[in-house]
Every structure is written in structure tokens, then in C-alpha cells.
């Protein structure tokens, strides 16, 4: 995911350094929350 996002933005002629940082952080936070709640649901 971290390698594909800059390539996509380069094709769209958007500076990948500016956009990929916040996007990857948001995706990482969402995935972490999903995993945390999934594990909590499994145990309780």
C-alpha cells in the first residue's frame, strides 16, 4: 500500500510527498482500529 499510493498520485500529477503522508496515516489508523475492535469482539 505504501508503494502504490505515491505511484497513483504521480500518474494523477499530484505531488506524492504531500498527499501520501496523511493518506497512509489515515489508512493505518483505520486498520488498527478495525483490528483492535475485531479482537475485542472475538474475546467478548
- What's the pLDDT tens digit per position in 3-25? 888 888 899 999 888 887 888 88
Average pLDDT over residues 21-43: 92
The whole-model pTM stands at: 0.59
Average pLDDT over residues 14-41: 90
Query: Residues 19, 13: contact at Cβ < 8 Å?
Result: no
44 and 36 in contact (C-beta within 8 Å)? no
Amino acid at each position: 500500500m505504501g508503494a502504490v499510493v505515491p505511484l497513483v498520485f504521480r500518474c494523477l500529477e499530484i505531488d506524492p510527498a504531500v498527499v501520501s503522508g496523511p493518506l497512509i496515516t489515515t489508512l493505518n489508523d483505520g486498520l488498527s482500529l478495525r483490528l483492535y475492535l475485531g479482537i475485542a469482539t472475538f474475546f467478548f
